[in-house]
Structure 1
Amino acid sequence: MTLAADRVTRTAGSTPLLDGVSINPPPGAMTGLLGPNGSGKSTLLRLLCGVTAPAAGAVTLDGRPLDQLRRRDVARRVAVVEQQADTLVELTVADVVRLGRIPHRRAWTPPAEPDDRAVRDALERTGLADRADRPWHILSGGERQRAQIARALAQEPRELLLDEPTNHLDIQHQHDLLHLVRTLPVTSVVALHDLNLAAMYCDHVVVLRRGRVVAAGTPGEVLTEALIADVYGVRAVVTDPDTDGRPHIRVVGTLSRGH
């Protein structure tokens, strides 16, 4: 068992952000959250990690309601990488990654060898070992993103939530990152804009539109020309899925308003 959301609803004033959304990420697999801007992807990720609570419905971890679990216990299980992260404190890259060990340590205790080992491993996995002592504030946007991912890996989670983690990354690092996430022994939920990256790396995808789930399944089942036209308003050519069920999408134009 792992994270799940059952008919969750979230509003901002009178505006619905999520409307009866259910999601059951397959344990140990990589689930992609897809949909246009404003479809509810980031809101759903915040509910799944317990940062915000649903107005209706429930988020559960191993079948237990998230709001009945201690925050520290949830933090030991669930790691989050948000779109933007910043700090006014003078930190090195290694300092940022060490933050991922906080749920595993008692207050005011110095790092132990398991903490140092987890930090070193996270820096190596994200290609930042040679930048460990660099100041955080001089990093490029892509390097900052990788440092946040390293922080999440240092947390040694069983569930990993990422909100558009390929933003600010060049093509090589986009693929390196998603390959890394896919090979981790975790249940991951990743909000993505690039449909081809989702088709290439995700085992399962969930498509949101205006706060509701419109499709869920494997990339080969879900990412059809009809769905892409309906949800994104563009014309696409989708090749037949290969033997792994992973299609390739080529956008060839936008649809007219009356289509």
Structure 2
Amino acid sequence: MTATTDARGNQGLRAERVSRTADGRLVLDGVDLAPAPGSTVGLLGPNGSGKSTLLRLLAGVLAPASGVVTLDGDPLAGLNRRDVARRIAVVEQQADTQVELTVLDVVRLGRVPHRRAWTPASAHDERAVQEALERTGLTDRARQSWHTLSGGERQRVQIARALAQEPRELLLDEPTNHLDIQHQLELLNLVTDLPVTTVIALHDLNLAALYCDELVVLRAGRVVARGEPREVLTEELIAEVYGVRATVTCPEGRPHVRYLGTLS
């Protein structure tokens, strides 16, 4: 694994030989990940390949059974959780609450790591929240109840909450689920234009090819391929990992996958 640093010499978020078990089964097996600062890394693989587990290890929500996750060279497990939350924002596949909240309430939660308990929001806090609402096209929905939103709208609110957090690392687990094509493209345009390091789990190979700088393909908890999209997304790999026949072309340097059917 090649070490990379940003302009200030920070290594950012890295996973080194991380493994994780669940119910006696090896979910991740010796996975390395070292995103280049400011890049977008796509995690690919079929259901159960370990993508969500890897994201949770990177977020510090889960601890590896072996190996280590580091932030600027320091083990994540030894860092203060509030300090980690100021750096790393996470958008899960689904989020729900029984509490009556508005869109604005949810987005304001992104500022919690930056404030002391019981202190009022600062002008900077409110500005970060308003900018997050504007970037995600939710300004007009700020006073709307969370419980009246569709699944896709809730996902956009969670993106806005993450943006309000002003992270340097952004982790997203299938963020395009429940979104129509237009909003999938708008969301990925937004995310990849941010001045942050992004790790994003995706099912759609063509979206991954279009928006990611690097792809990491998982199968049964192991990395089976990594590199630029045109290096990784081959007909042979798609057949091996997904059990699907496909043709891959590279218009304008980015691979495009056309599915032909299953191998069985």
Task: Classify the secondary structure of the residue corresponding to 1:83.
Answer: coil
> Which residue does 2:87 correspond to in 1?
77
Distance (whole Å) between structure 1 residues aligned to residue 101 and residue 177 of structure 2? 22
Choose from 116, 122, 128 the match for 1:118: 128
Note if 1:104 corresponds to 2:110.
Answer: no
Distance (whole Å) between structure 2 residues aligned to residue 84 and residue 69 of structure 1? 27
> Which residue does 1:190 correspond to in 2?
200
Distance (whole Å) between structure 2 residues aligned to residue 47 and residue 223 of structure 1? 25
C-alpha distance after superposition, 1:106-130 (max 9, x if no partner): 0001111101000000000001010
Q: TM-score, normalised by structure 2?
A: 0.95
> Which residue does 1:254 correspond to in 2?
262
1:160-175 mapped onto 2 (5 Å cutoff):
160-175=170-185
Q: 1:148 Cα deviation (Å)?
A: 0.3
Distance (whole Å) between structure 1 residues aligned to residue 155 and residue 124 of structure 2? 24
C-alpha distance after superposition, 1:157-178 (max 9, x if no partner): 0000000000011100000000
> Which residue does 2:4 correspond to in 1?
none
Note if 1:230 corresponds to 2:240.
Answer: yes
Choose from 23, 28, 52 the match for 1:18: 28
Q: 1:14 Cα deviation (Å)?
A: 1.4
Distance (whole Å) between structure 1 residues aligned to residue 14 and residue 101 of structure 2? 35
Check conservation: 1:220, 1:241, Cα contact below 8 A: no
Choose from 219, 223, 228 the match for 1:218: 228
Runs of 4+ in structure 1 deviating by more than 4 angstroms, as ranges, are none
Task: Classify the secondary structure of the residue corresponding to 1:85.
Answer: coil
Task: Classify the secondary structure of the residue corresponding to 1:32.
Answer: strand
Q: 1:241 Cα deviation (Å)?
A: 5.2
Choose from 34, 39, 49 the match for 1:39: 49
Q: Structure 1 unaligned runs (5+)?
A: none
Q: Structure 2 unaligned runs (5+)?
A: 1-10
Task: Classify the secondary structure of the residue corresponding to 2:14.
Answer: strand
Identity among equivalent positions (%) equals 75
> Which residue does 1:155 correspond to in 2?
165
Distance (whole Å) between structure 2 residues aligned to residue 100 and residue 190 of structure 1? 19
1:45-64 mapped onto 2 (5 Å cutoff):
45-64=55-74
Distance (whole Å) between structure 2 residues aligned to residue 143 and residue 164 of structure 1? 14
Distance (whole Å) between structure 1 residues aligned to residue 173 and residue 251 of structure 2? 26
Q: 1:102 Cα deviation (Å)?
A: 0.2
Q: TM-score, normalised by structure 1?
A: 0.97
Equivalenced residue count is 254
Check conservation: 1:10, 1:54, Cα contact below 8 A: yes
Q: 1:13 Cα deviation (Å)?
A: 2.6
C-alpha distance after superposition, 1:171-204 (max 9, x if no partner): 0000000011110000000000000000000011
Note if 1:145 corresponds to 2:155.
Answer: yes
Distance (whole Å) between structure 2 residues aligned to residue 51 and residue 177 of structure 1? 25
Task: Classify the secondary structure of the residue corresponding to 1:111.
Answer: coil
> Which residue does 1:6 correspond to in 2?
16
Distance (whole Å) between structure 2 residues aligned to residue 96 and residue 10 of structure 1? 31
Task: Classify the secondary structure of the residue corresponding to 1:76.
Answer: helix
